[in-house]
A and B are shown apart, each in its own frame.
Chain A
Amino acid sequence: MVSRNEKHTDVVIVGFGWVGAIMARELTQAGLNVVALERGPRRDTWPEGAYPSSIDELTHNTRHALFLQPSQSTVTVRHRDSDVAAPYRQLAAFLPGTGVGGAGLHWSGCHWRISPVELRLRSHYEERYGKDFIPQDMTIQDWGVSYEELEPHFAFAESVFGTSGQAYKVNGKIVGDGNPFDADRSTPFPLPAMKNTYSAELYSKAAAECGYHPFRIPSANASQAYTNPYGCQMGACTFCGFCSGYACYNYSKASPNVNILPALERESRFELRVECDVLKVETDSSGKKATGVIYRTSKGEEVRQTADIVILASFAYNNPYLLLLSGIGQPYDPKTGEGTVGRNFVYQNESGVTLFFGQDKFTNPFIGAGGNGVAIDDFNADNFDHGPLGFVGGAPIWVNQAGSKPISSATVPKGTPQWGAHWKKAVKDSFQHTISIHAHGTNMAFRDCYLSLDPTYSDTAGRPLLRITFNWHDNDVKMIRYVTDRMADIGRAMKPESMSVETKEFGEEFDLRHYQTTHIAGGAIMGTSPKDSVVNRYLQHWDVSNLFVIGSSAFPQGIGYNPTGIVAALAYWSAKAIRERYLKSPGPMVQA
């Protein structure tokens, strides 16, 4: 029961990660009053990132200090419609963030753009490989927005994040040894690329010897001290290696908390309320207009916040979850293919190779940064001929030495006993002498992978849990096996003593029990038609025009890169449309 109404505001934002912070900044600048609601606690560099307690692996990595505990809320998961979904009771495969900063506080810092062809994936594949190339049950589609339209927003987001990198082409001119597959840029990176670790140097050399095109990963770990356009400051990264899963103690990893919030908090039109869990979005009797949200405070009080504009900016699958709970839009039905909410749920499709060197070769894996490293894009996007290969998608391949922590990084060669004296000796022999290479691949959208409300399990507020129906498909296994073979070629060129390869087998099912990635996407996708998407090209809901749903939930299918770069660019793109068009004439910005 709603016990209290808060004063009406112009904009209410659900979730305070990157999207929430960007939208709050942009819309307060446009003169609007903004209330942001964050379900988790307030967090900042101090005390969450206070050195030395911040670099505690047991607290952060093992016990997941910055993440949403399943006891608070969780999802259920199954492989197929005929299964009964079971709750995700222990955080493992993916880690939903919570608290101020969201995933932007605990991320690693790989800050990419996107390959232009991925934004029009279906059209591109149909044009190059013919209409029959895409399997029947693969529901991939175009995003409805082009790289050229997003380019200024990528550039501005990089200036806000203090991104370190080496450009390849700026305004059509080749300017340096960046990624030759990169699309044209309007500006160089705001900071020079980070220094390479020894492992990345070895990888870079071997990849070039194999005929590929190594480049340094664009990183939102600052290579130098930096002041962004908002006046917010960063310190230079020290390669301490405590990025993913941690709040950076050094102000070096870009986060909403470091790069936007200090400026936003000086803004009288902005209010951030923490520990406010949004239960639903309310609409008027026509169902065409959002009137605000209802949220539950940490004391269990239910509060109504009305607003002229509602922005969903929560963790990937929570955006579609809120739409499902609020009854906004038609839930997706995999049998008929009708409905859009929950459609095209995707993940990331990864594999890895670990190289073990002799005792005389020290790779110092404890040095690192989340966004640091060298990658090749020769097998990402459509940078290689898929015709004879028969699959859609690809993967960047990288040495991204993010810093080995003592507990989780006990890597040993295959065949080593899993405990006892032999295991201990292998850990000791390996720790200083290993290099890991990873493929960070695409996961295509399929008709039978989707989100819906669980019929069995509910949370403490009585809401049904979100149910994920997801499994691997042959297309993605084919892709990752092909890319893994290329990765192993490079690994062999680095001349290790031994090498272990982790890849996927045909028929292998999605395994929730070990960490893969938190790069979850889809479920409230953007597109060109309300028949197959939830939001239009401006991230505006097709039916409820004062509702914007922004984040990786809008990806129509998986991408090769990490998601944060395009998520930030989409937020700035949407904010620009709201500021320049929607506010002048509220209503749908694209006619269905």
Chain B
Amino acid sequence: MKLRLLPVLAGAICVVQSSGAYAADADLIKRGAYVAVLGDCEACHTAHDGKSLAGGLALQSPLGAIYSTNITPDRDTGIGTWSYEDFARLMRRGIRKDGSSVYPAMPYPSYSKMTDEDLQALYAYLTQGVAPVSLKNRAPDIPWLLSARWPLAIWRLLFAPSPAPPLPSAPHDDTSDALVERGRYLVEGPGHCGSCHTPRNFVLAEKVQTAADGPKYLSGGFIVDNWVAPSLRSDDAGGLVGWTPEDIVAFLKTGRNRHGATFGAMNGVITHSTSLTDDHDLAAIAAFLKTLGPPPGVSVQAFHYDDTVSRQLFAGKMPSEGARIYVDRCAACHRTDGHGYPGVFPPLAGNPVLQGPDATSAAHIILSGGRLPGVAAAPSSLVMGSYRDVLDNQQIADLVTFLGQSWGNHGAAMTASQVAKIRQATTDEKKPVGE
């Protein structure tokens, strides 16, 4: 019976394909694919070595690992049976088709700001432009008492903003105001930059959701997988005060610029989202970020280079044990003057990672190494090796302390016990951490 129906179905498909509606759909799907890039769906919804968007990536939360879900159009295990209304409810309110609440790892408070236009395109892409993959969602590794979903509904009511009225359409023209507004939309909406770069409160809610809510927005400090998300505001405690819009665009497009290079949790964002974002949108993001002033009480002075340490090292004088380790292990690439080879080997003098109050990222890179993602505009996947088996905790503490206090840097010192904790928490990472 079914077999006999097939030719009829095939005929129906032909009709659809030959009609004008199909062409419009293809265009919508293409736009939706780009919205998926802007929203970086891939970063969380594709497991390491897994099929695209089929979920299964472990996301560490303080309560235990949760696993991203299958968002391919598979009817049994994915979102193949979801209507647009089901999809929009999840994206705007964090409520799944079955009525349960999602974990706040899903940045629906940000996605709620997306336009209907973009959500419709994204829905078209996820349901028609993606190959269905049969892969069952995995239950979280959270103890049963804490794994109940009902508290998430309370969390949602308390901390998730009521969905913003969707904008009629996202600004997309070239006047400078419009550029900033487009950037605001991309950063606050689909880009969900605040998920990592805005500090969170004790129940893991972002303290503020938008730039309009105050200077805590994107002021950094949240620790994701033992990486400190830096401030994206114009401050000098790890922020972007010395970065021009062009620097920001170069960083997002290639993962590297004259100030530094991507590492840790940002690598996936560069690979799956910003390196594929068009130049106009990158310029918009940069224009918007440059409107963000410093958080209260934080210096706005740009980094000022001090050559004292550089002259000491050049003369063969080691001001500290950390300096000696630096010359032996690091200076070949990063140079005794700390300037590195901008664009290739990141400068450490003035590097935002070494200015903030928390040097966790620096210690983590030294322990685990790093691999720059190769992207279309910069295919070289440059690697810094792991020093986990080369340097002990005290040596890494000495080194991080030296880095934070040299060449004009004003970063935090570090102790061996702090390094020990980071070593323990990142114990399996002996390969340079990449995408």
Residues of chain A having any CB pair with chain B under 8 Å: 44-47, 50-52, 224-225, 227, 230-236, 238, 240, 249-251, 258, 262-263, 265-266
Give the residue of B333, B342, B344, B379 whose beta carbon is less than 8 angstroms from that of A231: B379
With CB as the reference atom, state the residue of chain A lying closest to B375: A266
Are A235 and B379 CB-contacts (below 8 A) given A46-B385, A51-B332, A240-B332?
A: no
Ranked nearest first, the 3 interchain pairs of A and B with the lowest CB-CB distance are A225-B341, A46-B383, A262-B379
Q: Which residues of B contact A240 (CB under 8 A)?
A: 332
Question: Quick check: B382 and A233 within 8 Å, CB to CB?
Answer: yes
Q: Which residues of A contact B378 (CB under 8 A)?
A: 231, 233
Minimum distance in angstroms from B433 CB to a CB of chain A: 12
How distant is the Cα of A191 from the Cα of B204 in the complex, in angstroms?
A: 51
Nearest Cβ in chain B — how far from A237, in angstroms?
10
Query: Assuming A235-B345, A266-B379, is B385 touching A50 (CB within 8 A)?
Result: yes
Contacts of A263 in B (CB 8 A): 379
B13 at the interface (CB under 8 A from A): no
Q: Is the CB of A258 within 8 A of B343?
A: no
Write the B315-353 contact mask toward A (1 if CB under 8 angstroms, else 0). 000000000000001001100000001111100000000
Q: A45-B383, A232-B379 are in contact. List 13 more A-B contacts (CB 8 A).
A: A45-B382, A46-B371, A46-B385, A46-B432, A50-B383, A51-B332, A230-B379, A233-B380, A236-B341, A250-B333, A251-B382, A262-B380, A262-B381
Closest Cβ of chain A: how far from B212's Cβ, in Å? 39
> Does B390 lie at the interface of the complex (its beta carbon under 8 Å from any beta carbon of A)?
yes
A176 to B46, CA, bound (A): 55
Q: How far is the CB of A242 from chain B (nearest CB, A)?
A: 11
Q: In the complex the two chains form, is A258's CB within 8 Å of B374's CB?
A: no
Question: Which residues of chain B come closer than 8 Å to A230, judged between CB atoms?
Answer: 379
CB closest chain-A residue, reference B378: A231
**Cβ contacts under 8 Å, B369 to chain A:** 46
**Chain B residues with CB under 8 A of A234:** 344
Set of chain B residues within 8 Å of A224, measured between Cβ atoms: 341
Which residue of chain B lies nearest to A233 when distances are taken between CB atoms in the complex?
B380
Contact of B380 among A47, A236, A238, A258 (CB under 8 A): A258
Please measure, in the bound complex, the distance between the C-alpha atom of A262 and the C-alpha atom of B432, giving whole angstroms.
17
The smallest C-beta distance from A239 to any residue of chain B, in angstroms, reads 10
Contacts A225-B341, A236-B341; A250 near B379 (Cβ below 8 A): no
Decide if B344 touches A225 in the complex (CB within 8 Å). yes
B380 pairs with A251, CB closer than 8 A = yes
Instruction: Pick 18 A–B contacts, CB within 8 A, sort by A.
Output: A46-B369, A46-B371, A46-B432, A47-B385, A50-B385, A51-B385, A225-B345, A227-B343, A231-B377, A233-B343, A233-B380, A235-B382, A236-B341, A249-B332, A251-B344, A262-B374, A266-B374, A266-B376
Q: How far, in angstroms, from A236 to B343 measured CA to CA in the complex? A: 12
CA A249 – CA B385 in complex, angstroms?
10
Contact A232 B380, beta carbon cutoff 8 Å: yes
Q: How large is the interface on B (under 10, 10 to 19, 20 to 34, 35 or more residues)?
A: 20 to 34
Q: Which residue of B lies closest to A238 (CB)?
A: B332
A225: contacting residue among B332, B343, B390, CB under 8 A: B343
Q: Which residue on A lies nearest to B371, using beta carbons?
A: A46
CB closest residue in chain B, given A251: B382
Most central of A51, A227, A230, A233 by chain B CB within 10 Å? A233
In the complex, what distance in Å separates the CA atom of A235 from the CA atom of B332?
10
Once bound together, how far apart are the Cα atoms of A234 and B343, in whole Å?
10
- CA A167 to CA B289, docked complex, whole Å: 46
- State A251–B378 Cα separation when bound (angstroms): 14
Most buried by A among B341, B378, B380, B382: B380
- B415-432 vs A: 1/0 string, CB under 8 Å? 000000000000000001
Q: Give the complex CA separation of A46 and B371 in angstroms.
A: 9
Most buried by A among B329, B342, B382: B382
From residue A369, how far is it (CB to closest CB) to chain B in Å?
13
Nearest B residue to A50 via CB reads: B385
Q: Which residues of A contact B333 (CB under 8 A)?
A: 235, 250
CB distance from A271 to the nearest CB of B (A): 17
- Report the separation of the CA atoms of residues A225 and B261 in the bound assembly, to the nearest whole angstrom: 15
- Residues of the A chain whose Cβ atoms lie less than 8 Å from the Cβ of B432: 46
Query: Quick one: which of B333, B342, B344 has the most chain A CB within 10 A?
Result: B344
Q: A44 vs B434: C-alpha distance in the bound complex, in angstroms?
A: 15
Instruction: Give CA–CA (A265, B376) in the complex, Å.
Output: 11
One of B332, B344, B371, B390 near A233 (C-beta < 8 A): B344
In the assembled complex, the Cα of A295 lies from the Cα of B32 at a distance in Å of: 44
Residue of B nearest to A266 (CB): B379
Set of chain A residues within 8 Å of B332, measured between Cβ atoms: 51, 238, 240, 249-250
Closest CB of chain B to A159's CB: distance in Å? 16
Q: Which residues of B contact A46 (CB under 8 A)?
A: 369, 371, 383, 385, 432
- Chain B residues numbered 365-400 whose CB sits less than 8 Å from any CB in chain A: 369, 371, 374, 376-383, 385, 390
A223 CA / B381 CA spacing, docked (Å)? 21
- Per the bound structure, the CA–CA distance linking A249 and B382 in Å amounts to 10
Find chain A residues with CB under 8 A from B380 CB: 231-233, 251, 258, 262
CA distance A234 to B344 in the complex (A): 7
- Distance between Cα atoms of A387 and B376 in the complex (Å): 57
In whole angstroms, how far apart are the Cα atoms of A47 and B384 in the complex? 10
User: In the complex, which residue of chain B has the Cβ closest to the Cβ of A234?
Assistant: B344
| Bound form: Cα–Cα A44–B382 in Å | 10
Please measure, in the bound complex, the distance between the C-alpha atom of A265 and the C-alpha atom of B381, giving whole angstroms.
11
CB closest residue in chain A, given B344: A225
Residues on B with C-beta less than 8 A from A232 are 379-380
Collect the chain A residues with CB atoms within 8 Å of residue B376's CB.
266
Q: Chain A's nearest CB lies how many Å from the CB of B338? A: 15
Shortest C-beta distance, A42 to chain B (Å), equals 14
A230 CA to B382 CA, complexed, in Å: 15
Q: How far is the CA of A234 from the CA of B379 in the complex (A)?
A: 12
Nearest-neighbour CB distance to chain A for B314, whole angstroms, equals 15
Would you call B385 and A235 a contact (CB within 8 A)? no
Q: How far is the CA of A236 from the CA of B344 in the complex (A)?
A: 9
* Nearest opposing residue in chain A for B341, CB measure: A225
Distance between A230 CB and nearest chain B CB, rounded to angstroms: 7
Contacting residues, chain A, for B343 (C-beta < 8 A): 225, 227, 233
Given contacts A225-B343, A235-B345, contact A52 B390 (CB under 8 A): yes
Contacts of A249 in B (CB 8 A): 332
Chain A residues with Cβ below 8 Å from B381 are 262
- Identity of the chain A residue whose Cβ is nearest the Cβ of B330 in the assembled complex: A51
Contacts of A233 in B (CB 8 A): 343-344, 378, 380, 382
Query: In this complex, what residue of A is CB-closest to B376?
Result: A266
Nearest CB on B from A325, distance (A): 36
Which A residues are CB-close (under 8 A) to B342?
A: 225
- Nearest residue, chain A, Cβ from B328: A52
Chain A residues near B374 (CB-CB < 8 A):
262, 265-266
Q: Which residues of B contact A251 (CB under 8 A)?
A: 344, 380, 382
Question: A371 CB to closest chain B CB, in angstroms?
Answer: 18
Chain B contacts of A225 at CB under 8 A? 341-345
CA distance A52 to B343 in the complex (A): 23
> Within the assembled complex, what's the spacing in Å between the Cα atoms of A45 and B371?
11
Q: Which residues of A contact B383 (CB under 8 A)?
A: 44-46, 50
CB distance from B281 to the nearest CB of A (A): 21
- Which residues from B are CB-within-8-Å of A262? 374, 379-381
Contacts of A51 in B (CB 8 A): 329, 332, 385
Alpha-carbon distance between A427 and B379 when the two chains are bound, in angstroms: 46
A189 CB to closest chain B CB, in angstroms? 19
Which residues of chain A are near B385, meaning CB under 8 Å? 46-47, 50-51
Q: How far apart are A50's CB and chain B's nearest CB, in angstroms?
A: 4
Distance from B392 Cβ to chain A, minimum over Cβ atoms (Å): 15
Bound-complex Cα distance A224 to B382 (A): 16
**Minimal beta-carbon separation of B348 from chain A (angstroms):** 15
Residues in B whose Cβ lies below 8 Å from that of A45: 382-383
Give the distance to chain A from B140, nearest Cβ to Cβ, in Å.
Answer: 34
Residue of B343, B381, B385 with most chain A CB atoms under a 10 A cut-off: B385
Query: A45's closest neighbor in chain B, by CB?
Result: B383
Question: In the complex, A240 Cα to B333 Cα: how many Å?
Answer: 11
| B390 engages A235 (CB within 8 Å) | no
Distance of A232 Cα from B379 Cα, bound (Å) = 6
**Smallest CB-CB separation from A53: which chain B residue?**
B385
